[in-house]
Homo-oligomer: A and B are copies of this chain.
């Protein structure tokens, strides 16, 4: 059995309160001599404070909970989520918080998750790109658990930290237009994720605003996966009248789209320009290197954690924030061939 504060008190013939104050160096003053004694015995007996007991009485755990959307597999595959995790963990480290990863996730075991998130183990919650249909945020709100959301947007009162998706699409389209493209397709991401559906919506808005030509047949679901991107690209590009450029909602699908185009005998970027979103670590390693839109995932996460901890520690209400994406021009985009332009 590990040493407890009572063991120390008994051995020293002191009260537990004195020992506690000595150990914590306050808030009640303790004579140096007494403190020395306590500390030295604590060391000798390898005393370790029990955090559960402490948390029970203080109501604080110094732990942040992370609620993933789905299987952790997707984490590893998604460079965005990984950068987020990186930012979260680094910021937590700086603020001396630990990170609790909930493994029963929203999509599958909602009931267990909804129990976990407010069971006292975390001071606050980070929802990583939750499904648009998730009601977990509502539950957290109702139960008074501080939380923030990354990469999804909900009602105004829900604090959301996300990239500006209308800007993501605008930057991509503006750049393609600048290159001379008029006929632009879109490989759509998962529509139950806000990034996927919002990018599609913005694409639609620009298309309907006659910013460029697009037809329904040039827009296909790719589900944010390589295979999905490849299938979608093949469908889009095997049509007699095809676009000269495709905007893909993430890099995975863009990679698949390149393969799809090549499988049809088309060259990238000569025959078809392809642009993704994320700036995945591998995107600069492929040939040709992928043109993409980078979202500041790391900074988003750091800001989100910062806001959440400010709410927890200083009761400051977090305010939603949108972050600017950035164009990264590489080799999968170029001007369209003259005869393809229209």
Contacts and interface: CB of A to CB of B under 8 A. Distances in A.
Contacts of A116: 51, 98
Counting chain A residues whose Cβ lies within 8 A of the other chain, the interface size class is: 35 or more
B53 A120 contact: yes
A120 B53 CA distance: 9
A9 interface: no
B101 A46 contact: no
Interface of A: 2, 46, 48-53, 55-56, 61, 63, 71-73, 75-76, 82-83, 85-86, 89-90, 92-93, 96-105, 112, 115-116, 118-121, 142-144, 255, 281-282, 285-287
Contacts of A102: 98
Contacts of A100: 63, 98-101
Contacts of A76: 82-83, 85-86
Contacts of A52: 52, 55-56, 61, 119-121
Nearest to A56: B52
Contact of A50 (B49, B120, B143, B255): B120
Interchain residue pairs A-B with the least CB separation, the first 7: A282-B282, A93-B103, A51-B119, A72-B89, A99-B101, A52-B120, A287-B287
A254 to B, nearest CB: 12
Nearest to A89: B72
A97 B100 CA distance: 11
24 contacts: A2-B143, A46-B142, A51-B120, A52-B61, A52-B121, A53-B120, A63-B100, A63-B121, A72-B86, A73-B86, A75-B86, A76-B86, A93-B103, A93-B104, A93-B105, A96-B103, A96-B104, A97-B103, A98-B104, A99-B101, A100-B100, A100-B101, A121-B121, A286-B287
Contacts of A119: 48-52
